Structure 1
Amino acid sequence: MLYEQDRDEVEAMDTDPPVTPVTDPIPNVWERLMKKHRKSVAPSKGLIRSVHLPNSQSCSTLAQETTLTSQQQPARSDSNIYSSLNLQLEATYVAEGHTKPVLDLDISGHLCLTASADRTAKLWDLNALTETLTIRGHTNSVNKAKFHPEDPNMLFTVCAFFACMWDMRELQKPVHVLSSRGTSSSRMPELSSFMNIRQNVCPPGESIISDISLNGNQLLMAAATTVRLWDMRRPSALGFLSGHQGAVTVLHGQQSESDLLLATGSKDHTVRLFELNPYSCGCLSPVLELEPPHYDGVEAVVLDRENRLFSSSRDGMLKAWQLSREGGLTATPLFSLHKAHKDSSQLAMAETFLVSGCRSGCLKVWNAAAEVEDASRLICEQHLVSPTGKDNGINALETSGTRLFTAHNDATAKFWQIKGL
Structure 2
Amino acid sequence: MMIRLTKRQKSNWFHNHWIRMYLLLVLLFPQSMMKKCRLDYFIELDRTARLWDLEKGVEKLMLGLHPNNITCVRFIPNSSLAFTVSLSTVRIWDLRIAKNVYTLHSSGLGTEGELATTNTGRQNTVPISETVITAAEVDPLGRFLFTTFSGDVRVWDLEKFAAYGRLTGASHSPRSEVSCLSVTNDPSLQVYTGSRDHYVKIYDVKSDGQGIYEATHELSPPHYDSITCVLPYGDSVFTASKDTNIMRFSTKDWKRDHLELKAHDRAVNDMCILEMERPLLATVCKAGNVKLWDITSTRRIRTVGEISQAHDDQINAITTDSGLVYTASNDTMVGVWRLSPFGS
TM-score by length of 1: 0.71
Which residue of 1 is the match for residue 192 of structure 2? 263
Matched, 1:211 2:135: yes
Unaligned runs of 5+ in 1: 1-84, 325-329
**Aligned counterparts of 2:267 and 2:68: Cα–Cα separation in 1:** 26
**Aligned counterparts of 2:45 and 2:15: Cα–Cα separation in 1:** 18
1:299-338 correspondence runs (5 A): 299-304=228-233, 306-324=234-252, 330-338=253-261
**Aligned counterparts of 1:409 and 1:94: Cα–Cα separation in 2:** 18
Tell me by how many angstroms 1:222 deviates: 1.8
1:45-60 correspondence runs (5 A): none
- CA 1:298 to 1:139, structure 2 compared with 1: closer, same or farther past 3 Å? same
**Aligned counterparts of 2:245 and 2:5: Cα–Cα separation in 1:** 22
- CA 1:188 to 1:128, structure 2 compared with 1: closer, same or farther past 3 Å? same
Asked if the contact 2:19–2:334 (Cα under 8 Å) also holds between the matched residues in 1, the reply is no
**Aligned counterparts of 2:77 and 2:284: Cα–Cα separation in 1:** 25
Q: Once the two structures are superposed, what CA deviation does each residue of 1:255-289 show, in whole Å capped at 9, x if it has no partner?
A: 213x2122110012100011123212121111100
> Residue type of the partner of 1:182?
G
- CA 1:86 to 1:344, structure 2 compared with 1: closer, same or farther past 3 Å? closer
Tell me by how many angstroms 1:94 deviates: 4.6
Matched, 1:380 2:301: no
- CA 1:188 to 1:94, structure 2 compared with 1: closer, same or farther past 3 Å? farther
Which residue of 2 is the match for residue 81 of structure 1? none
Asked if the contact 2:258–2:300 (Cα under 8 Å) also holds between the matched residues in 1, the reply is no
- CA 1:142 to 1:331, structure 2 compared with 1: closer, same or farther past 3 Å? same
**Aligned counterparts of 1:177 and 1:129: Cα–Cα separation in 2:** 30
- CA 1:359 to 1:181, structure 2 compared with 1: closer, same or farther past 3 Å? same
**Aligned counterparts of 1:301 and 1:405: Cα–Cα separation in 2:** 19
> Residue type of the partner of 2:272?
A
CA radius of gyration, larger in: 1
- CA 1:405 to 1:385, structure 2 compared with 1: closer, same or farther past 3 Å? closer
Asked if the contact 1:265–1:299 (Cα under 8 Å) also holds between the matched residues in 2, the reply is yes
Which residue of 2 is the match for residue 346 of structure 1? 270
**Aligned counterparts of 1:261 and 1:90: Cα–Cα separation in 2:** 36
**Aligned counterparts of 2:178 and 2:300: Cα–Cα separation in 1:** 32
Unaligned runs of 5+ in 2: 9-13, 32-37
Tell me by how many angstroms 1:372 deviates: 6.6
Q: Once the two structures are superposed, what CA deviation does each residue of 1:48-89 show, in whole Å capped at 9, x if it has no partner?
A: xxxxxxxxxxxxxxxxxxxxxxxxxxxxxxxxxxxxx13111
> Residue type of the partner of 1:323?
T
Which residue of 2 is the match for residue 251 of structure 1? 181
Which residue of 1 is the match for residue 209 of structure 2? 280
- CA RMSD in angstroms comes to 2.2
SS, match of residue 210 in structure 1:
coil
Tell me by how many angstroms 1:412 deviates: 2.9
**Aligned counterparts of 1:124 and 1:254: Cα–Cα separation in 2:** 27
**Aligned counterparts of 1:86 and 1:252: Cα–Cα separation in 2:** 29
SS, match of residue 46 in structure 2:
coil
Q: How many residues align?
A: 319
Matched, 1:221 2:147: yes
1:14-413 correspondence runs (5 A): 85-92=1-8, 93-94=14-15, 100-108=21-29, 109=31, 110-151=38-79, 153-171=80-98, 173-185=99-111, 186-188=113-115, 190=117, 196-197=121-122, 199=124, 201-215=125-139, 216-243=142-169, 244-245=171-172, 246-257=176-187, 259-304=188-233, 306-324=234-252, 330-341=253-264, 342-351=266-275, 352-369=279-296, 371=298, 377-384=302-309, 391-400=312-321, 402-413=323-334
- CA 1:287 to 1:372, structure 2 compared with 1: closer, same or farther past 3 Å? closer
Q: Once the two structures are superposed, what CA deviation does each residue of 1:16-56 show, in whole Å capped at 9, x if it has no partner?
A: xxxxxxxxxxxxxxxxxxxxxxxxxxxxxxxxxxxxxxxxx
> Residue type of the partner of 1:209?
I
Q: Once the two structures are superposed, what CA deviation does each residue of 1:138-163 show, in whole Å capped at 9, x if it has no partner?
A: 12111111001111x21111111101
Tell me by how many angstroms 1:98 deviates: 6.0
TM-score by length of 2: 0.86
Bigger share in helix: 1
> Residue type of the partner of 1:416?
W
SS, match of residue 88 in structure 1:
strand
